[in-house]
Amino acid sequence: MKNNAVGWFEIPVNEMERAVKFYETVLDLKIERHLMGPLEMAWFPMVENGGGAAGSLVKHPDYYIPSANGVLIYLTAHSGDLSNELARVKEAGGKVIQNKTQISEEYGYMALILDSEGNRVALHSRK
C-alpha cells in the first residue's frame, strides 16, 4: 500500500501554551502535550487510516525557530468550510495573510495565516 509522501510534520513554537491555545481555538480540537527532556511537543489528534499526515507543535531551545518563510503546511479545516476556521484566527492571536481563495473546483479552497508564533500556515477545505 502506498501512502502520501508526508508522514509527520512539526511546527516550531516559542511559547507552547500560546501556540496550543491558538491551534485549539482556530481548528476547534484538543492537542495532547508531551514533555521529553528539553523537547516539548503538543500532538495534533491522529486518526487511524484517516489519510493525510499527523504532526505536532514542537519547542526546543536549540533546534526549532518559527518562520513565515519556510515550508508551507496545509491543515485541513474539519468544519468543511475554512471560513469558519479563518473567523477564529485573529481572536486566537494570529493574522490572515491571504483570504479564502479557490484553488480549483476539484481541489477546493485555501487561505494563508500567520499563527501566534509567526509561522505561515495554510488552511484547506473543499467548500
- Each of the 127 residues of the chain gets a pLDDT tens digit; together they read 566 778 899 999 999 999 999 999 999 999 999 999 899 999 999 877 767 788 999 999 899 999 999 999 999 999 999 999 999 999 999 999 999 999 999 999 999 999 999 999 999 999 9
With H, G, I as helix, E, B as strand and everything else as coil, classify residue 51.
Answer: coil
With H, G, I as helix, E, B as strand and everything else as coil, classify residue 86.
Answer: helix
What is the number of domains present in the chain? 1
- What nine digits make up the cell of 121? 500556515
d(CA 20, CA 90): 15
Domain with 99, as residue range(s), is 8-125
d(CA 118, CA 127): 26
The reported pLDDT for the residue numbered 50 is: 66
Shortest CA distance to 70 belongs to which of 22, 29, 16, 121?
Answer: 121
- What nine digits make up the cell of 33? 502535550
CATH number of the domain to which 115 belongs: 3.10.180.10
The reported pLDDT for the residue numbered 87 is: 98
The reported pLDDT for the residue numbered 47 is: 79
